[in-house]
Amino acid sequence: MRIRRVQRAAVFAAGFAMAVGGTALASAATAQPAQVRGGQQPTGIQHVLLISVDGLHQQDLTWYVDNYPNSTLATLDHQGLEYSDAMTPVPSDSFPGLIGQVTGGNPKTTGIYYDDTWNHDVFPAGTTNCSGPVPGGEVAYTEADDIDQTRLDAGQGLRFLPGSILRMTGNPRRVINPANLPVDPKTCQPIYPNQYLKVNTIFNVAHDAGMVTAWSDKHPAYLALSGPEGNGVTDYFTPEINSQAIGYLAGQDWTSTNNATMQYDSYKVQAVLNWIDGLDHSGARPMGVPAIFGMNFQTVSTAEKLPVSDRRLQAGRQGPGPAAGARAELHQHRDRPDGGRDPEGRPDQQHGHHHLGQARPVPDEPEQPEPGP
């Protein structure tokens, strides 16, 4: 793997892991002490923020940095390291791609080839009698595992959605229906996503060192990041992206329009900001700034897939060059966590009502402490 060195900032280092089909951005900071159990005092880099951007290819990032040299992405690019030979697993997709990033393993090692596969060595979901030959079954770690995949909270039952979504449980296991999971022939018990993973993750390593961790993604099935022991991630935020998009036409999920996807991504941005502030994803309980944390963005991926964006920008691939529509949507999305501003820094009247203000907690029943995984 070739590594291109660039100038390092005085107070933080940033790294890029580039891959065809997706990009991971890692920013490491030393400004605040990491939360460590047992009173240990860490040294050096203390916090790493990992950002996964579905659909952001290296050529797209290069184009954006060249055209917007004063953007946050350009700043990270100039002050960090670029890993130009990194590759995604094959087939390339969100689930196996992220698993590869946080484990360092290929699909043969991790056991994760895709988010929906067939395994000859499991019983089908719903099996309660595991006697006789193992017939094999579907292993789907997708929205199909939710208690209710039509709801943004995956079936938790929160009131006042989407405004209350930050009150969603930090333990995805609570909103996964075990009847939808493949069954282990040895125990005749459902196999949760983290139990299907064959190796530990960077979150497990941090947890074993007494550190706090956090992650936000598009399905509760990303519980897989907690590793086989189930304890890798301290706090999750996993609103269901394929649920009915509230305020949009019936049958439209949060990927049906770019506006909806930006609104959805903004909820996860708010969770990350709460973690940076040393709180849990809801912003209601102190947790300490995580040592390793991050989120997945979907807006670029949506811009690539939809034939026309909400601003009538042609999306998808246009000829041999980078995804023009995706670049345009990234251009629009820049600085949105700061209140919905356009690329020139002006308030965005069209999109401003979609962003973080809607994601703040509203009065509701007190949530009980999370049980262990």
> Over the stretch 152-200, which tens digit does the pLDDT of each residue have?
999 999 999 999 999 999 999 999 999 999 999 999 999 999 999 999 9
pLDDT digits (tens, 9 = 90+) for 314-331: 444 343 333 344 344 444
Give every strand in the sheet of 3-5, ordered side by side.
3-5, 80-83, 12-19, 22-29, 47-54, 292-297, 213-216, 235-237
Cα(286)–Cα(140) distance, integer angstroms: 34
Confidence check: pLDDT of 15 > 70: no
Contact 54, 298 (CB under 8 A): yes
* DSSP, res 230: T
Contact 224, 199 (CB under 8 A): no
- Name the CA dihedral angle for 281, 115, 52, 256, rounded to a multiple of 10 degrees: -80
Contact 216, 266 (CB under 8 A): no
Three-state DSSP at 338 gives helix
Residue 83 is encoded by which pair of tokens?
Answer: 């890993």
Rg (CA), the chain: 20
> Which candidate, 53, 61, 58, 153, places its Cα nearest to that of 94?
53
Kindly report the CA angle at 286 between 281 and 290, in degrees rounded to 5?
A: 65
Question: What is the residue-averaged pLDDT of the chain?
Answer: 79
* Better-predicted residue by pLDDT, 76 or 332: 76
Tell me, what amino acid is at 320? P
Tell me, what amino acid is at 8? R
* Better-predicted residue by pLDDT, 357 or 167: 167
pLDDT of residue 204: 98
Contact 266, 214 (CB under 8 A): no
pLDDT digits (tens, 9 = 90+) for 217-241: 999 999 999 999 999 999 999 999 9
In the chain, where do the E strands start and end? Answer: 3-5, 12-19, 22-29, 47-54, 80-83, 116-119, 137-140, 213-216, 235-237, 292-297
Distances (CA, A) of 9 to 56, 76, 78, 134: 24, 9, 9, 56
Which residues, in sequence order, are CB contacts of 316 under 8 Å at separation 6+? Answer: 304, 305, 306, 307, 323, 325
pLDDT digits (tens, 9 = 90+) for 41-67: 556 889 999 999 998 888 888 899 999
pLDDT of residue 42: 53
Q: Where residue 28 falls among pLDDT bands split at 50, 70, 90?
A: low
Cα(21)–Cα(41) distance, integer angstroms: 38
Owner of token pair 């099935």? 221
Which residues, in sequence order, are CB contacts of 73 under 8 Å at separation 6+? Answer: 25, 61, 64, 65, 334
* DSSP, res 235: E
Contact 359, 267 (CB under 8 A): yes
For the chain, how many residues are written?
373
Direct distance between the N- and C-terminal alpha carbons of the chain, in angstroms, rounded to an integer: 36
Enumerate the β-bridge partners of residue 332. Answer: none
pLDDT of residue 330: 42
Distances (CA, A) of 251 to 124, 229, 266, 351: 28, 37, 21, 22
